Structure 1
Amino acid sequence: MPAARLADFLPYLLSVTSNAVSDRIAEEYRTRFGLRIPEWRIMAVLGDTGPATQRELATNTRMDKVAVNRACKTLEERGLVQRSPNDRDGRSHHLELTAAGTAMHAAIMPLALEMEAQVFAPLSAEEHQAFKTMLGRVRDAAGLSEPADKGDPE
């Protein structure tokens, strides 16, 4: 049996590819909007789902709760996110985009979608759809369901 090579290990390839795609897209919104990846992920989820608690954001972004907390604080300091009391749980708050956050989200989304199109241009429309379907099946097999298919452009 030949020795396994890291370059042939699919989890490694997925991770490296995901990071490369994220970094490529993130460079654009870091330069244009001063956002880091965790901040954009929070904004993208809030723009897609509406108000959410930090716990929900950690689940939906698959980010560590410390990273979510730090990103939320930064966004709040910049006036892009606001907190409101959570009537169902007095220990937490709902976070939502402010008018400025909504406007920034609206400006970034077309850019993110354009960058996605550029990165995935080597794939035909059929390959692109098949790739998304396969990623969904792998995600489900790994035990991660929703919200990854909600369209979280990096």
Structure 2
Amino acid sequence: MTHDAESGLKLDGYLPYRLSVASNAVSGLIARAYQDRFGLTIPQWRLICVLAEDGGLTQNQIVARTVMDKVTVSRAAQGLLKRRLVGRSDHHADGRSHVLTLTHEGSRLHSEIAPLALAYEAALIAGLAPEEVNLLKRLLSRLQSAAGALAGESLPPSLR
């Protein structure tokens, strides 16, 4: 093995890989709880949360707010509409668009699941000091911003 190969990429030390593995582990844990207890997918739960926080939104607004793709949001919305957890009405300014809102049942379900979600979060961060949690949130926000900037701008010469 050459020196270059030894000092090259090591998957376990590669930050994008580590973020993905951690995200998958957390999402998988929570997805099982939402699916088993409430029959919801993660995208459906995210859509419910966004509507609970922000009120009525169009699917395009949900896409922007959650950073989920249009197909995922559409499928989540369809499933929630079938279960009557969200309602759909015409958008007053754009006849091609619809506004999604939580129904009474959707709001009730959100109120039931939110404490469970917070309990999972508390269990996940139990081994971290409050200042570590705050630092982690700030760092994740900065990484998300950097990824957005790289995706939306021309790549720097080193990445071409």
Give the structure-1-normalised TM-score. 0.89
What's 2:22 paired with?
Answer: 17
What's 2:106 paired with?
Answer: 101
Deviation at 1:79, TM superposition (A): 0.6
Deviation at 1:139, TM superposition (A): 1.6
2:81 is aligned with what amino acid? E
User: Is residue 43 of structure 1 aligned with residue 48 of structure 2?
Assistant: yes
The 2-side partners of 1:60 and 1:23 are apart by 22
2:24 is aligned with what amino acid? N
**More contact order relative to length (CA 8 Å, sep ≥ 6):** 1
Q: Greater share of helix residues, 1 or 2?
A: 2
The 1-side partners of 2:113 and 2:148 are apart by 30
What's 1:122 paired with?
Answer: 127
| SS at structure 1 position matched to 2:30 | helix
What's 1:141 paired with?
Answer: 146
Deviation at 1:11, TM superposition (A): 1.1
The 2-side partners of 1:13 and 1:44 are apart by 26
The 2-side partners of 1:75 and 1:9 are apart by 37
What's 1:5 paired with?
Answer: 10
What whole-Å deviation, never above 9, does each CA across 1:64-89 have from its counterpart, x for those lacking one?
Answer: 21111111010000010000110111
The 1-side partners of 2:17 and 2:115 are apart by 30
The 1-side partners of 2:24 and 2:96 are apart by 34
Q: Which runs of 5+ in 1 are unaligned?
A: 145-154
User: Is residue 33 of structure 1 aligned with residue 51 of structure 2?
Assistant: no
Percent identity reads: 48
The 2-side partners of 1:16 and 1:57 are apart by 25
Deviation at 1:142, TM superposition (A): 2.0
What's 1:149 paired with?
Answer: none
The 2-side partners of 1:19 and 1:48 are apart by 25
Deviation at 1:3, TM superposition (A): 2.0
Q: Which runs of 5+ in 2 are unaligned?
A: 150-160
What's 2:117 paired with?
Answer: 112
The 1-side partners of 2:8 and 2:17 are apart by 16
2:22 is aligned with what amino acid? T
Does 61-70 or 99-108 show the bigger shift?
61-70
The 2-side partners of 1:105 and 1:19 are apart by 23
User: Is residue 75 of structure 1 aligned with residue 80 of structure 2?
Assistant: yes
Equivalent pairs counted in the alignment come to 144
The structure number with the bigger radius of gyration is: 2
